[in-house]
Structure 1
């Protein structure tokens, strides 16, 4: 009965997040159109208007991270293998999302007028981001290795031994709860790095450079989603 209730709750959470995400994507497409419009009107756009647009786009992404965090609190394993993303989209993922360093590759292809000072600051940020990525990768590897190492294996074997006519699952539940907690921490830190990298990058760029960069980021994400949907549709034929 408890398992049935748990599955029902999980299904409700997935449905709610899926509905949120569909609406989020619609709004993202609208933001892309705004960003493109601002680029076309570059000579007419005021810095104040551009900053307002940039702030709204960043807030839009932050909303996704907040909803994703709530979903992870319900089931972190689901966020690491999200059914609301196609296998093609997931092939680009690093700790349940795009790698922060990808931002610098997109920047290189969309902004070609960085000053010397901006370039130097970008290199510092790139180096710091790469170091933090390695730390998170090492932490995730440690967690993954612990799944197949003592004491988890010992507990799993112990679970097969009857205790007073019942299976002793208390130890296993305790260990798995610890693992889920560690996964949530790694995910939260990865999302924080993604957000912080984007925020610091935006601080270095001028308003118009930011619009070019954010337009390129948004367009790439929507294209990857479109390609993933097309691949899935082809497989169903």
Structure 2
């Protein structure tokens, strides 16, 4: 599933990375199945019961929650890895915002897939958009402060040593960090955790504003976009390898 050459050498054979790789293979298969279920409900000629919509929505949201829980385990092992994850294609990595999707993307998909919101829904959604943008900016500012610290000599030296250790094939995560690198790890772990929390709460709040049928439309759009970007990314990476780009 993953383009050869996309994984960093220091991850090969590491049990934690291989465990996540296996998880992601199975997770992606389930995602396709969930998309089929969502499309079936969306395209059904008869009016599906609201309880059926809600049950499917809860299962799909839990499916995404599982991804972020598993990714967090990798972040705790080596937080640097989730900022440029080797399990994603180059195209997918280009869309990353603090190790995941930018929450504001959800609102774009709502706008493009839901055309029957009431005035009250629109007002509530507008307020949520404004609140989310403020929280995104706060996280951007926090990450910028961390990046400024990286330029300090102790941190720069620690990161270079970390890079040499990774290239030598030793485990990237674990203990043994000096104080500078350890502090950077903890700061990055915190900002990733907060970004993941914002992603999750944004999705939940959007689902509370929309009707179950509208939420199904958004979840269809999310899955279709993710799968489309993934497919295009794999295609481009394969072409790049054929042309000697790796």
Shorter-chain TM-score tier: 0.7 to 0.9
8 Å CA contact retained: 1:50, 1:211:
yes
* Matched position secondary structure for 1:94: coil
Out of 53, 67, 86, the residue aligned to residue 70 of structure 2 is: 67
The aligned length equals 219
Out of 140, 143, 150, the residue aligned to residue 143 of structure 2 is: 140
Q: Write the deviation string for residues 27-82 of structure 1: whole angstroms up to 9, x where unpaired.
A: 00000000000011153311000000000000000000100111111000011110
Q: Write the deviation string for residues 169-210 of structure 1: whole angstroms up to 9, x where unpaired.
A: xx9711100110000000000000000000000000001001
Alpha-carbon distance between aligned partners in 2 of 1:154 and 1:76, rounded to the nearest angstrom:
18
* Matched position secondary structure for 1:229: helix
* Structure 2, unpaired ranges of 5+: 1-9, 160-175
Out of 85, 89, 93, the residue aligned to residue 92 of structure 2 is: 89
- Look up the match of 1:168: none
- Look up the match of 1:108: 111
- Look up the match of 1:219: 224
- Look up the match of 2:173: none
TM alignment of 1:190-229, pairs within 5 A: 190-229=195-234
**Structure 1 pair 146–34 and aligned structure 2 pair: CA distance change class (3 A):** same
TM alignment of 1:39-188, pairs within 5 A: 39-41=42-44, 43-149=46-152, 152=155, 173-188=178-193
* Matched position secondary structure for 2:178: helix
Alpha-carbon distance between aligned partners in 2 of 1:114 and 1:213, rounded to the nearest angstrom:
12
8 Å CA contact retained: 2:124, 2:209:
yes
- Look up the match of 2:171: none
8 Å CA contact retained: 2:65, 2:200:
yes
- Look up the match of 1:236: 241
**Structure 1 pair 232–61 and aligned structure 2 pair: CA distance change class (3 A):** same
8 Å CA contact retained: 2:158, 2:181:
no
- Normalised by the length of structure 1, the TM-score is 0.87
Q: CA deviation at 1:152?
A: 3.7
